Structure formats: C-alpha cells, structure tokens
Structure 1
Amino acid sequence: MEKIELYDVTIIGGGPAGLYTAFYSGMRELKTKIIEAHDALGGKLLTYPEKIIWDVGGMTPIRCEKLVEQLIEQAKTFDPTIVLGQQVVGYERLEDGTIMLTAASGEKHYTKTVIMAIGYGIRKMAKLDIEGADRYEVTNLYYTVQELEVFRGKHVLISGGGDSAVDWANELEPIAASVTVVHRRDSFGGLERNVTRMKESSVTVRTPYRLRALHSQDGKRINEVTIAHMETEAEERLQVEAVVVNHGMRSDYGPIRDWGFNMGEWNVYVSEKMETNIPGIFGAGDFANFTSKVRLIAGAFTDGVLALNSAKLFMDPEAFEVAFVSSHNEVFKEKNKALGLVAE
C-alpha cells in the first residue's frame, strides 16, 4: 500500500501570499507544502519582472523580479516541500478528517489543512482580438514588458488603460523615442499619482480610441497601426516599431468553483480569521474577500498570517493564537548564529 505523507498545511498558490504564508508556517513549526500550478514561484509578479514596486513595508523601491527572488528565499527558510507544475482540481475529506487534494495530472496530496492563495485562478493574458495578430508575437507585438532595453529608442504604442499599461508608459517614456497610449475610455485604472505622471510627461494619450488593425510591410513586423475613435469610428494610422498590449488578464478557477465555496465572481468570501465556509480550508491574498480587505502586497502578507494562525488553531485549539515575533522566537536562535548575527 502506498505510504501517505501527511502535511499540517498545504498552501495552494506560490505568489506573494503563498510564499509569505509558507515562511510564517515555518515560524509556527508546521510541516508545510506549497503547490503551484505554474513552473515557477512568484504568481502574477512574474508577469511584470521590471515593474517597480514602492509599497512593500520597510523596503525601498524594488523591481518585481528582485522581490520574487527575496520572497522565495524567505519562504524556503524552514524548508517547505515545493511542488511546481501541478494544478489542484479536486479535494475530498477522508474518514479520519484528512483532506486529499488531487492535481489535474492525477497526483494526490494529503494534508490536515489547506490555505488557498491562488489569486484569481489560472491567469492568462487577454490576447489582441485582431485576426493574424499572433504572427507578430515573435517580433514586435508584446503582452508584457520583460526587458526595458528592448524598447530603447523605439516608437512604442501601448494599448490598454489599467495599472500595468500606465506603469509601462511611465517606465518606457525616458528610454523610448516616443510612447503613445491608446485606451477605450477617458479614465484610467492606474493609481492616480501614476496616471498624473503619465499625462504630465511626453507620453501621448489617445482616448477614447481602440486598436483596430496592424500593418506590416514584410509580413513579419508591425510597421503601422490603425486606431479608431470609439464614438465617431474615425480612423488614424500611426507609425510604430513596437506594440504592447495590456487588455487585462483572463482568469479561471476551473473545478475549484465546484468545491462548494461561498464565492462571488472573482473570489471567495472569508471571515475575519480567513475561514472559508469549508472547515479546514482558509483563504489568503486576492482569492480572499472580506469587508476590510487591503489589496496591497502588505495585505496579502497579513491575510496569510491570519489564515495560518487559524489553521494552527483548527488543528490544535490549545495552541498559541499567534507566533512569537522573530526576535523572541526560539526557531530563529540557531539560524541567527549560523548567519553570525549573534554571539555563540
């Protein structure tokens, strides 16, 4: 008979919420597993590696890729088991109360509690709805800005009006020959400060317009685009050397929607202790929705701590409600010595 390895906590999702929860789970001396559907940890931060993040407490402005690196290093402090490339699709509670999770590939995972940190589900970039657009994805049609230097000295058109479109416009403005932002609405979804910065810079903002057609002289690279006014349908052709599309993400929770969660369109409703309506399963990060929700990375960290504390009490009602702070936590004594931070 197959030997079952049982974990105290299984965290589904390896983004900021899941990674910090894994670290905190180690502080509470729990046997921990992370299961991530993609082949790398980092969650949606991986989509924007060069984006600058300002709002993580105690940290100066940092690029996404560096923040991901540091979150992963921190998450590995207590050696959790990490499983990549498995999408969890099913759960079953066994007779002894153990939760059995099933991946799409058939693998089984056994755990006492689960923390759902899956964001908005499996995320995919919304592709440009123009026939033949995919042929340019290998040349100069982009759905994310991976390396700023690729756009140096080029005439760049950005289609979209959310946070990322605004951020990319601001990041590219100093290095591109020109940046034009085309958006269907007059209002933008980015932070007000960033939208103001974009509008006060040399970025050309065209609203309310949409990207209607792509044009190529050789069939390989986009040389011009047609944009159309949303109301009058009046068209204009613009010369470009790179097109960046940010039309949002398409997310799908898949079979998880059938688990019986009390869910809205985008996330699951949880208590102030991050409890879902399914005993032993808790939420954190974008997946969790509650009245005082803080949609910042800092909020995701706090969600994870609350969810983990609730999981600990679910397993042991007599346990301490929270972990001791790291400066007084016994589990860090040897680690501090190993790092040479305290005297032997």
Structure 2
Amino acid sequence: MVRILENKIYDITIVGAGPVGLFTATYALMRQAKTQVIESLSEVGGQVTALFPAKQIYDVPGYFKISGTDLISNLKEQTDFFKPEIHLNETVERFEKDDDGIFHIQTNQRTTLSRSIILATGVGAFEPRKLRVENAADFENKSLFYSVPDILMFKDKNVIIAGGGDSAADWTIELSKVAKKVTLVHRRDQFRALESSINKIKDLANVEILTPYMIDGLEHQNGQTQIRLKRSRTKDEYQTLLADALIVNYGFKTDSSVQKKWNLETIHNQIKVDSTQQTSIKGVYAIGDNAYQEGCVDLIACGFGQAPIAINHALETIYPEKRQPTHSTQLMKNFNIE
C-alpha cells in the first residue's frame, strides 16, 4: 500500500465532476456527508464543458432548453453553496479496501481514505477524433476547432462544419443563427443525425450541404483557411472552399484503461450495478453513463436520479444507526438560508 498523505477519512468520494458528479456532490453535502470530488480534467463539467458547452440541451427537467455552459454554471452554483472539496487534474488509479472497510484510494498525486466511492466518470477519459490532415495541428484553436466554447466567436463568419452525426447537425442549426454562412460537409450522402434535424437544415437560407466530400488539405490564404475537399470514392475530383473557421465533429474516442484496473464487473464495457447502484465491490457505486443497469439510458436526467439512490444506500450502510431525512426541504433546515 502506498504511503497515506492525509489522515482524514471521507464518507463519500465522488470520482468525476461532470453534471452528474456535481449534483451527486450537492446531495451528499446536503446529507452532511464528509465528501470530496476527484476530477481528472482541469475544470468541472466533464463532456458537457469539453465537447458541447454552447449546445442547447432539451432533456433536463425544469428547462425547455439550456446550454451546456448554463447547465454546468447552475450546477456549480448549487454545489458551491455547500463549499465542496474538489480536486482537479487528479486521476484515480486504483483503490483497495482494508480490514476495517476503509478504501485507500491512490491517485496520481496522493493516497486518500474513504468509506465509500461513487464513480460518476461518464465514458471515461475522452478526446475528440481529430482531422487526419498532415498540418491540421497548425490550425487548431485558430481556425480549426473540435468544440464550440462560445457561439459568438463565429458571428458573421463563414463557417464549415465537418461531420454527419447529431453533434454536427445541431451545431449547424445553432451557428446558422449567428454566422454569415454555414457549410455542412459529410463524406456520405446519408447522415447519421436525426432526419428531422437534416430536414430543418435544408430549409435554412444561409446553410449549404456538401456531400459526399471529405477534407483533404488545409492552407492559409489571406487571413482565411482554404479547405480542399475530395469527393468520396473518386480518384481526383476536388473542390476548394474559403472559410473563417472549420469545426470538425467526428465524435470522440474514449480511454477506459484506468477503469479496467479497478477490477469491477462490467457488461458491454459499462460497470454492472444493482438496484442501489452498488457495483461488484461492496461500498463502490457507479452512476451515469458508466453504469450498466437494464432499462436505463444514457441521459443526464438518469444520472441525476441515480445519485440520491447511491448516496442514501452508502450512508445507510456506513451509519446504520443514524436515521436522517432525505427530502431537501427537511435537509436544508440544517443550513442557514436566507
């Protein structure tokens, strides 16, 4: 066992600070559990912050629509009231349970102690699938982007979006509201995105669809980017476009190698859980996209619902003699709210 760098024993350690992880921290702290959050990225928000901060989300209860940025901002404001202990840029590498039932959690920075663990890691470590053009790195974060941190960056610009899935279609629709022109490029004639989205795109006056083309080269030209397109399944049929910005939405690739070291039972690369969200290791819970539970779908709303189940079961197991209310109106009586 690695040397312990702190003596504090947490009731709950939450791994992951995406939307589900943040709400889990809120409810755990509302239950007055000694709680810490460990996040491998440099900021909270998980996939929402990294991949689609400006995208509108329509399946979060209480909101007809809300942008990813606003959702994370609201969740963080809610969590911050309880003064959470969040450790960023820290990766959980492994954990072991000692004879007293305490988990020794080893990260890339320390070893910490906890009576239970809740894994809210989503799909694991991830990064966008990048454009396979030799000099693409020279354009990244200048005129080539893999996410949209601020939709107003593209106001009155000529924008090209590459991709055929829901993300590419959604960004085409959203950016058409501020951009001068949007061109959607896909290597196939058929899109993977919802048919209703593609039909909507076809009705937009400032949007052009180019299929079947793939990006073959990038060049700088008079402050813009010249994009060479090659027609799919042809030998030498090309065309070029000038754009102020290129957004590539080829999806993302995940790395679950760290999760495999945790020795948890899995189904279809997800962590198997029971009705209490407990995994094959007693005291370790999984919620959100990384948890496999028959009938559950990968929605933020599902993860929100799983969080109180895991927390309440964990605390009942840790403190069987302690009976505490679980409704927010009763729990918040313990806090000074004006």
TM-score by shorter chain over 0.5? yes
> What's the secondary structure of 1:338's corresponding residue?
coil
Partners of 1:295 and 1:237 in 2: CA distance: 39
Tell me which amino acid in the other structure corresponds to 1:6: I
The residue that corresponds to 1:22 in the other structure is 25
| C-alpha distance in structure 2 between counterparts of 1:98 and 1:160, whole Å | 47
Segments of 5+ residues of structure 2 without an aligned counterpart are none
Aligned twin of 2:177 = 174
Tell me the equivalent position of 2:228. 225
Q: Provide TM-score, normalisation by structure 2.
A: 0.90
The 2-side partners of 1:271 and 1:176 are apart by 47
Does 2:261 match 1:258?
yes
Q: Deviations over 1:240-270 (max 9, x none)?
A: 2211111111211233212211224542222
What do residues 133-177 of structure 1 show as CA deviations (whole Å, max 9, x unaligned)? 110114211111122222222221111122321111011112222
Q: What amino acid is the match of 1:28?
A: R
Q: Which moved more, 1:231-240 or 1:243-252?
A: 231-240
Q: Is the 8 A contact 2:213 2:229 kept in 1?
A: no
Mapping of residues 106-145 of structure 1, within 5 Å: 107-145=110-148
CA RMSD of aligned residues (A): 2.4
Count of matched residue pairs: 333
The Cα offsets for residues 192-212 of structure 1, whole Å up to 9 and x where unpaired, read as: 543432233232223333222
Q: Distance in 1 between matches of 2:71 and 2:213?
A: 35
2:74 aligned to which of 70, 75, 82 = 70
d(CA) in 2 for partners of 1:249, 1:224: 22
The one-letter code of the counterpart of 2:156 is: G
Judge which range, 154-163 or 113-122, deviates more: 154-163
Residue 93 of structure 1: aligned partner = 97
Equivalent of residue 326 in structure 2, options 321, 324, 327: 324
| Matched position secondary structure for 2:216 | strand
* Aligned-partner Cα distance in 2 for 1:318–1:165: 52
* Residue range with higher mean Cα deviation, 116-125 or 73-82: 73-82
Equivalent residues of 2:123, 2:254 under 8 A apart: yes
Corresponding residue for residue 82 of structure 1:
86
Q: Give the letter for the 2:337 counterpart.
A: A
Is 1:338–2:337 an aligned residue pair? yes
Local SS of the residue matching 2:123:
coil
- The answer to whether 1:307 aligns with 2:310 is yes
> How far did residue 130 of structure 1 move?
0.8
Letter in 1 for 2:209: V
Q: Percent identity?
A: 33
The residue that corresponds to 1:210 in the other structure is: 214
Tell me how far 1:3 sits from its aligned partner: 5.0
Distance in 1, matches of 2:313 and 2:199, equals 41
Moved more, 233-242 or 46-55: 233-242
Structure 1: tracts of 5 or more residues without a match: 340-344
Task: Give 1:16 shift.
Answer: 0.9
The one of 149, 154, 161 aligned to 1:146: 149
- Indicate how the Cα distance of structure 1 residues 71 and 2 shifts in structure 2: closer, same or farther if over 3 A, else same: closer
Residue 296 of structure 2 aligns with which residue?
Answer: 293
Deviations 1:38-90 (A, max 9, x none): 12111111122222222211124222212111101212333332111101111
C-alpha spacing 1:271/1:193, structure 2 compared with 1 (3 Å): farther
Q: Deviations over 1:276-320 (max 9, x none)?
A: 112111111111122111322211101212222232233245666
1:334 Cα deviation (Å)? 5.3
Q: 2:209 & 2:62 partners in 1: Cα distance?
A: 34
Q: TM-score if structure 1 supplies the norm length?
A: 0.88
- For 2:240, the equivalent position in structure 1 comes to 237
Q: Is the 8 A contact 1:165 1:246 kept in 2?
A: yes
Q: Which residue of 2 aligns with 1:270?
A: 273
Supply the AA of the counterpart residue of 1:324.
T
Q: Is the 2:278–2:310 Cα contact (8 Å) retained in structure 1?
A: yes
